[in-house]
Amino acid sequence: MGFVYKLKPEVRDFILDEKKTNPVISCRGLVSLVHDRFQVKLSKSSINSLFKEAGLSMPVGRRRTKKRRRPSLGTLPLTGQQPIVTETVIPELTPETPPEMPILPELEPVIPEAPEEAKPAEIPIEKAKEPEAPIIEQPASEVEIPVEETKPVEPAPEPAKEPLVIEPVSEPQEPEPPIEPESAPVCEPEPEKIETSPIFDLPVEAEGTGAILLKIADYLLGGVYSINDAIENRIRKTAPDSLSKTEALLYHPLFSATYDNELSTDSGLWQLINYRFSQQELFTYLTELQQYSAVNSDIIRIISTLSQEVRGIKATLSDGTIMYFDGQLHSVWSTPQMPYDFSAPIYNLKAYINEYFQEDEPFVLFTAPGYEQPTREFFDFMLSLEIGEKTISKLLLYGNRFEELEIVNVEQSKKKGFIFGLWPWQFGQFRRVKSMGDFFKWQFNGLNKEFYLAEGQVELTQPNTGQKIALRGCFIKLGLNDKIRIIVLSNLPHDMLKTQELAQKYLNQWPNLDETYQDFSRKIELFTYTAASRRFFSLETLSWNKEAALGLIHLLNRYLSTLDMYVRWHFLPTGYEERDLAFMKDNFYKLKVNFDKSREGLLRAVFKPAPGYPYIRELDYICRRANERGVVIFDNRRLWLSV
């Protein structure tokens, strides 16, 4: 399984010539150079293999300590800009769509909130005790975790301040790159777990740490990581703290009006990046970067590319069958015309594709499409991962205007796993619960919340084709005497994924259950009435000329505005798109956050608004949406937000 491409002779010769000319150049730097010259995307491992064949490899060892980020897919080939809507056949709306839900034009797999009278009275189970009638209700609020107060480490004596004067950047001659020793290792594989050494442990609370929302947006867009790579490529050297210094320059305007002010040792900026720098250190770093004017054009390109959103994925099977997924992988769809709210940054979505098709992680969809019966496309999806007569052969990523962004050719050589949620009222006549065991208590650390789980088996039938598929089921309750809230189904056997692990996989991606479903339905309904006039996330609303000669600080401010716009468009309820950075800073980013690192692998960030805070409901909504994005920061810790 992987991505198919051929390395042309001219590309190969270019890579080897560059390596011979500049022995210390990194594989990552060559990835950018090859892309700029030939418009070909290669992986670092491919370049490293080429070095080994040519005998140009350097000694292997640790280059630097860097915060792990979700990997991007450097090997995905770009294709031409071609619209994909013209070939789509819009199916007629099925009579199974409940009349209580507004009909979504050209959108078959609408999953409406089930009316009480339409829900089945019970879940049929063979040789089992009488089941309880399912209900749908609002999940309990996330539990607030108290954190023991820790004292920040006293800072070292600080050097005398020097005033920082930022002059407009002209086009000077770039200085000669510093020469590093020949023994400097390059192209070594990143370690599985990187041990970082921040200057201090996260303190309990600090004003301004609400800007963690911007850092979440950056994790999804991948901007700081890409900008820092571009910087290292231009100056041709690396430093273990360069990523944190780049972050410090980006978020600094939220904490001070100018860069020549020495921030206090307990400033929220240091907690936000988990490092502390003196004003002199940042001044020196900024001055060095301003000598490399070519970095500015790199940043313009990065912002423009990474802000591109993927509205959906068009999956083509080996027999020509077509199905669609939304950018955030809520469900399987029959047409490409799905709500704009389900779009995702191209950087983040490509990372998910990488996990599913290269790292053997299972597909985790929020819900099965359909109300009374499963759709044919959904059965095609499930059966295609079983390595039957037809498999997924190609994935096409398309944007909000249906423009073609990238094509990924898939080689599926073995069975792939999938996980999805089935609501108790779905597919009443076309599902059969063949078995269900006893419920047992299980603690989900992400929300610090108890659930009750039971193992079982469910058989689904597609009425139009007569196809049947038997799946493992994990039945989930909020309390032992509560009703079944959702059934998590998978094709993975118990010896590969235990019941608790199956629940963990699903809740890690979709922890809010009923609330997520209600939000999902509201967005579909809104799209029903506003599809023709609804705007979507786009940098065009920022009204900036990306071709203009802009200074480094100005460009970083532009990217900060991009992150703020993403938070407003995707994490806040509808209506906040027209707000601005000043409003968000005063009402959200200035908030205090309590960081808790007591659980291994988790970072709990608990917002601490003052009494009478007017946006408590919006803040809770932000936390729920952000928790669905699988953010990993600070020593590879999974981030969980709550209020």
Which pLDDT value is given to residue 105?
34
Q: How sure is the predictor about 548, in pLDDT bands with cuts at 50, 70 and 90? A: low
> pLDDT of 245-271, one tens digit each?
999 999 999 998 888 888 888 888 998
Phi, psi of 435 (to 5 degrees): -165, 155
DSSP 342: G
Which pLDDT value is given to residue 636?
84
Query: Does residue 70 register a pLDDT over 60?
Result: no
User: What is the residue-averaged pLDDT of the chain?
Assistant: 75
Q: How far does Cα 69 stand from its chain's mean position?
A: 10
| Strand duo 602-607 + 637-642: pairing | parallel
> pLDDT of 592-637, one tens digit each?
998 888 888 888 989 999 999 999 999 999 999 999 998 888 878 8
Pick from 20-34, 381-395, 519-533: least confident: 20-34
CA distance 540 to 528: 24
3-state SS, residue 603: strand
> pLDDT of 447-473, one tens digit each?
889 999 999 999 999 998 888 999 999
CA distance 372 to 429: 7
Which pLDDT value is given to residue 541?
59
Q: How sure is the predictor about 24, in pLDDT bands with cuts at 50, 70 and 90? A: low
DSSP 207: B
- pTM over 0.75? The answer is no
Burial of 435 (0-12, 13-18, 19+ CB in 10 A): middle
3-state SS, residue 404: strand
CA distance 171 to 173: 7
Q: What share of the chain is helix, strand, coil (3-state, %, to 5)?
A: 30, 15, 55
Are the CB atoms for 377 and 369 separated by under 8 Å?
A: yes
Q: How is residue 326 written in tokens? A: 């939304």
Q: How sure is the predictor about 537, in pLDDT bands with cuts at 50, 70 and 90? A: low
> 244 or 59: which carries more pLDDT confidence?
244
Are the CB atoms for 74 and 41 separated by under 8 Å?
A: yes
User: Is 3.80.10 the CATH number for 9-54?
Assistant: no
Q: What's the average model confidence in pLDDT over 86-101?
A: 32
Which pLDDT value is given to residue 439?
95
State how far the alpha carbon of 103 is from the alpha carbons of 20, 96, 468, 521, 559, in Å: 63, 11, 28, 12, 39
Which pLDDT value is given to residue 161?
39
- Taking each helix axis from N to C end, the angle separating 212-221 and 552-570, rounded to the nearest 10 degrees, works out to 100
Which pLDDT value is given to residue 88?
31
Q: How far does Cα 593 stand from its chain's mean position?
A: 22
Query: Does residue 202 register a pLDDT over 90?
Result: no
What residues contact residue 475 under an 8 Å CB cut-off, 6+ apart?
436, 439, 453, 454, 455, 456, 484, 487
Pick from 65-69, 357-361, 406-410: least confident: 65-69
Pick from 45-49, 527-531, 541-545: least confident: 541-545
CA distance 642 to 616: 11
Number of H helices, E strands in the chain: 16, 18
Phi, psi of 194 (to 5 degrees): -95, 125
For residue 541, give the amino acid letter: T
Going by C-alpha positions, the residue among 389, 390, 388, 376 that lies closest to residue 460 is 376
Buried b (16+ CB within 10 A) or exposed e, 411-425: ebeeebbbbbbbbbb
What residues contact residue 17 under an 8 Å CB cut-off, 6+ apart?
none
Query: Does residue 524 register a pLDDT over 80?
Result: yes
Q: How sure is the predictor about 498, in pLDDT bands with cuts at 50, 70 and 90? A: very high
Which pLDDT value is given to residue 133?
39
Which pLDDT value is given to residue 21?
66
> 421 or 49: which carries more pLDDT confidence?
421
Tally the residues of the chain. 643
> 102 or 306: which carries more pLDDT confidence?
306
Max CA-CA distance within the chain? Answer: 81
> pLDDT of 158-185, one tens digit each?
444 333 333 333 334 444 444 343 333 3
With vertex at residue 48, the alpha carbon angle to CA 47 and CA 49, rounded to the nearest 5 degrees, is: 90
Q: How sure is the predictor about 62, in pLDDT bands with cuts at 50, 70 and 90? A: very low
Which pLDDT value is given to residue 511?
92
DSSP 340: G
Query: Does residue 136 register a pLDDT over 80?
Result: no
Q: How is residue 492 written in tokens? A: 């993975």
> pLDDT of 277-308, one tens digit each?
888 888 899 888 888 888 888 888 888 888 88
Residue in the structure block whose two tokens are 């065009």: 540
Which pLDDT value is given to residue 540?
59
Pick from 84-88, 235-239, 603-607: least confident: 84-88
Which pLDDT value is given to residue 155?
43
For residue 106, give the amino acid letter: E
Are the CB atoms for 384 and 393 separated by under 8 Å?
A: no
3-state SS, residue 640: strand
Query: Does residue 575 register a pLDDT over 80?
Result: yes
Phi, psi of 468 (to 5 degrees): -130, 150
What are the residue ranges spanned by the domains of the chain?
9-54, 116-143+308-528, 209-306+537-642
CA distance 186 to 197: 22
Query: Does residue 373 register a pLDDT over 80?
Result: yes
Q: How sure is the predictor about 437, in pLDDT bands with cuts at 50, 70 and 90? A: very high
